[in-house]
Chains A and B, each alone.
Chain A
Amino acid sequence: EDKVVQSPLSLVVHEGDTVTLNCSYEVTNFRSLLWYKQEKKAPTFLFMLTSSGIEKKSGRLSSILDKKELFSILNITATQTGDSAIYLCAVEETSGSRLTFGEGTQLTVNP
């Protein structure tokens, strides 16, 4: 059975801190790993990773995938209160685009 595990499950930091969120997976037919940010509504897309070792970056957020060790990390530097959200990691299978989600990391950034 496909499995995606995120850690930590929750994290409380102060504005300006840097955080690293982890995602490990076991999937039979891996196609890609995706990171989403969820606030009050549906998830919003952050990154899609398909190749090992290539960092994807968007502003203060960056992510990298290690297909040998089967994990990914999401880094957020200089955190702001607006970064407070649940961060979801999902793995996509090659057949049919089916996504398996991890439990998510609840990030709280205090002023």
Chain B
Amino acid sequence: GAVVSQHPSWVICKSGTSVKIECRSLDFQATTMFWYRQFPKQSLMLMATSNEGSKATYEQGVEKDKFLINHASLTLSTLTVTSAHPEDSSFYICSAVNSGGNYEQYFGPGTRLTVT
């Protein structure tokens, strides 16, 4: 079946540093990937739509200069949290749309970010 990986699965960083999270579709091509954030006891909130070869589309209230998204290939999107602060601590989940097949969306396992 379709597999999406994320790396790292968890990361702890100091306030003010930047963290990069990778999302890969392992056995299919994905021209579109999505980045979600989930705070404890809350649902998934869409942050941005990542489009291969073009700029990401950010949801209202999400700072594009703080959450940098790069989708340089059909199988990889990266999310960089710049100048992280404790309030950025969250569970970040990506999903990838199988653009070469059934256009179904598959989720990665998530990345737990803790900013100290």
Contact = CB atoms under 8 A, between A and B. Distances in A.
A58 interface: no
A92 B34 CA distance: 13
B115 to A, nearest CB: 20
B54 interface: no
Interface of B: 32, 34, 41-46, 49, 93, 95, 97, 103-110
Contacts, number: 44
25 contacts: A36-B107, A41-B109, A41-B110, A42-B93, A42-B108, A42-B109, A42-B110, A43-B44, A43-B93, A43-B107, A44-B107, A88-B43, A92-B105, A96-B32, A97-B97, A98-B46, A99-B34, A99-B46, A99-B95, A100-B46, A101-B43, A101-B45, A103-B42, A103-B43, A104-B43
For the residues of A in contact with B, the DSSP-based class is strand
Interface of A: 36, 41-45, 48, 88, 90, 92, 96-104, 106
